Structure 1
């Protein structure tokens, strides 16, 4: 065996810039060679040349400073959804239909054969709403004008998904100027908004981190408000897109309460969602304007009209039009149509309490939620 590991000495000498062989121990082979220091390229550090007077000195390594992390916006103050001066003006909420109507309907269900059909329909609805998803489904709800019932429809859809599904459900308010989704869902205070969260959400966040910025609702649902109720609050398309892309992986279903058409955010939401709901009042002018929009959508890619459902909401007990005939006319465009019957509880506004809804309203809402969810599953 040769005296000394000459190849190790040559390698070490090349790394250090030394001119002679390493010193060997007395009467024996050279001492073990310590590992070579990491090069600047391997460690990501900046190489500082050694002074000219010490050519054999090992180069000094200095790490580059880490880039500063962006500062998150400071937490806004909480704000009440309903002013304390106004909260006392609300009357006690009433049920969706009178006692006599409920009693008559219960008797009819007992003596007729419709009970079996109703059970079969409820079984199909529950099975459809509980289908698993591979990626989060986003459902956009909009209308042609204010007062069409879009926020009520969004709230009904969100509560139905939260009741039947096991994965988290998110309701997003993308109507910051005139939105009333927090009031409909019974939220008491607001803090973070859609625009705020666009600058906060990061890919490494967990679901627990994200929900800390949201308003928790009953069951497995959360709310992201559009504003704190300020007049003139705005939401640009860039912030909306960042939020929706970032949150999609955390929630199985997201229901978006959009601005009215033709607002820019509403158009972006409709094109990016997997299913669309167009709310319209069961009136002659409401049906006429909705029919015009559906004709316009027929000129878009086919999946737009195929994935759209119109909800005709009756705001009075006796509408001024033949609702079923109007629904058939709207269906001729290729869109689905559902009729939401008149309900005293919904018509009164305020907090939506599902236990006070009339039975036909509950059945119509869950059937609507199932069909819209099924449409969203068809588009990946």
Structure 2
């Protein structure tokens, strides 16, 4: 039986110290301070893990990728992972990207499930369980403001409504379809505002489709767009349609700087030339990344990062490094 979610804190209450946290889905750890990434240097844990996986040897390109991945970010950076078509690996990509950033960076990363139709992000990262949702987070913030308070500002308060996988924090979607339909643009913007008070990188696993209200808020607050495709003609066409829709809604800069991720959902693409597919997407946006097939990921169960193949982890490291390359060009928060 899944454990019951902890009750939201009463209005005006102060969050307990980490050692007495009431959220069973969070492993307490000290908060390092907002916007305090590593100054371009490797963390000791990341260095040890990287060397262990490579048998103690690090090549020049691998070292360079790791340094790129750890580029400092001067303000909260918001990445949205999307696709019009479901079943192409969008949630898997959101989860693995978040796990990669949290594994190799010293700052804080959170991934939010903005799917209005009972998304599965939390299940993929935490296993099936009853836990607080992004709606609980937004409701708690609103109640505090209604009583004259500043809302949820303490990171420990915010963590009460999140789960944790490794060092990655997870904001789960509402699982009741009748309620989750009501998660709209205003609530999504509120959730983004709350999370950027405590985290340096916010990754949104958006729902399929481009017309629902929450998607409007997603595009309006996004710094970088990741569009997911699979090596099939229908999936490729829908990925291109996703870019067209984003452009039509008034965000040509997101299309220009987008990263298309082609996730291999079988060991080998059948009936489609991968080089042709990559060249096609390179005519539409700046970067295209191919993620190798991994049986553990495509079984659809809970993701265990260290059990993912080294080739697939490397693909997601390449994706994270490309996204981190853009951090240096981000103007500081005003």
Please indicate, yes or no, whether the TM-score normalized by the shorter chain is above 0.5: yes
Name the SS of the counterpart of 2:202 in structure 1. strand
- CA separation in 2, counterparts of 1:175 and 1:358? 28
TM-score (norm 1): 0.65
Name the SS of the counterpart of 1:128 in structure 2. helix
Unpaired segments of 5 or more residues in structure 1? 1-69, 73-77, 81-108
> How do 1:290-309 and structure 2 match up within 5 A?
290-298=239-247, 300-309=250-259
- Deviation, structure 1 residue 261: 2.3
Question: Does 2:260 correspond to 1:310?
Answer: yes
> How do 1:349-368 and structure 2 match up within 5 A?
349-368=300-319
Question: What's 1:241 paired with?
Answer: 189
- CA separation in 2, counterparts of 1:283 and 1:265? 28
Query: After the TM superposition, which of the residue ranges 292-301 and 306-315 deviates more from structure 2?
Result: 292-301
| Number of aligned positions between the proteins | 272
> How do 1:267-282 and structure 2 match up within 5 A?
267-282=216-231
Given that 1:274 and 1:307 are in contact with CA atoms closer than 8 Å, whether structure 2 keeps it comes out as: no
- CA separation in 2, counterparts of 1:314 and 1:204? 40
Which of 160, 169, 177 aligns to 1:231? It is 177
Which of 179, 193, 216 aligns to 2:119? It is 179
1:323-379 Cα deviation digits (max 9, x unpaired) = 221011111113321111211111211011122222211111111011123235534
- CA separation in 2, counterparts of 1:71 and 1:250? 20
TM-score (norm 2): 0.74
Name the SS of the counterpart of 1:337 in structure 2. strand
Unpaired segments of 5 or more residues in structure 2? 1-9, 13-22, 26-53, 142-149
User: Could you say which structure has the greater relative contact order, defined with CA pairs below 8 angstroms and 6 or more residues apart?
Assistant: 2
Given that 2:134 and 2:191 are in contact with CA atoms closer than 8 Å, whether structure 1 keeps it comes out as: yes
- CA separation in 1, counterparts of 2:188 and 2:261? 25
- Deviation, structure 1 residue 121: 2.4
Structure 2 CA distance for partners of 1:337 and 1:271, relative to 1, 3 Å: farther
- CA separation in 1, counterparts of 2:152 and 2:171? 20
CA RMSD of aligned residues (A): 2.8
Name the SS of the counterpart of 1:185 in structure 2. helix
Structure 2 CA distance for partners of 1:356 and 1:156, relative to 1, 3 Å: same
